[in-house]
Amino acid sequence: MELYPAVDLQQGAAVRLVQGDFDRRHDYGDPVALAERYAAAGARWIHVVDLDAARTGVAHNRELVLEIARRVPAAVQAGGGIRRIEDADALLGAGVARVVVGTAAMRDAAFLAEVTSRHPGRVAVGLDHRGQGAEVAVSGWEASSALTLDDALARLDEVAVAAVVVTAIERDGMLAGPDVDGLARVLAATRHPVVASGGVRSVEDLHDLASLRVEGRGLDGAIVGKALVDGVLGIEEALHACAASG
């Protein structure tokens, strides 16, 4: 299972939000330095999200995302506000390894078909859900897609996405542990690789995620944010847990 240390961007800074609430923000300084620290420890991927763009659809922090991709030897998976083909082209053409599309993927099937065809193997879909999958949220988690998690996964059955990135919103930034049971249901419901996000707080949580199996399939990766920036979980021990488990 791959570890994806998270670097969330707002107004040029590295931040963490609590349950996606823009009014509950904690600042963590220079995002490039943070990404460099994770890569220096051995992280092979960095998960970067432009929170301002996720909310508005305007690529406020794109140059910063691209600077991270230029400066960091790890592969960058970038999300937030990618709602046009040109957005994906700009990121993937300038050093980003994979993009994560969310709002546009839920609202525009033609966009998703075109972007996955144009960039095979380099487009993941973000499914951010509340209420144990009862609602998939969009627009920086401030609006509903009117889809359940099961509905959204069914829509992706025949689409060639690189992965589905599944976030339990209630657990995000809460250090409350991952939604292992919910992730098991996701693995049962989709053939796509699954990257888990939300709630990881310890080595034991990573072991639980890495050992999860449904019909012989496990998780492709786990995104960890708050536990790393707060020092609750060390980057080296997190990487070791992911490499040694499963």
**Annotation says 157 is catalytic:** no
Helices marked H in the chain = 31-40, 51-56, 62-71, 85-92, 103-107, 109-118, 149-155, 180-189, 203-211, 226-229, 235-244
**Annotation says 181 is catalytic:** no
User: At which residue do the structure tokens 């409350």 appear?
Assistant: 176
SS3 234: coil
CB atoms within 10 A of CB 90: 17
Q: Are 224 and 198 in contact, with CB atoms under 8 Å apart?
A: no
Candidates 128, 172, 179, 220; catalytic one: 128
CA-nearest of 98, 87, 86 to 4 is 98
Candidates 8, 52, 172, 220; catalytic one: 8
CB atoms within 10 A of CB 36: 17
User: At which residue do the structure tokens 């944010």 appear?
Assistant: 225
Residue 169 DSSP code: G
Could you list the active site residues?
A: 8, 128
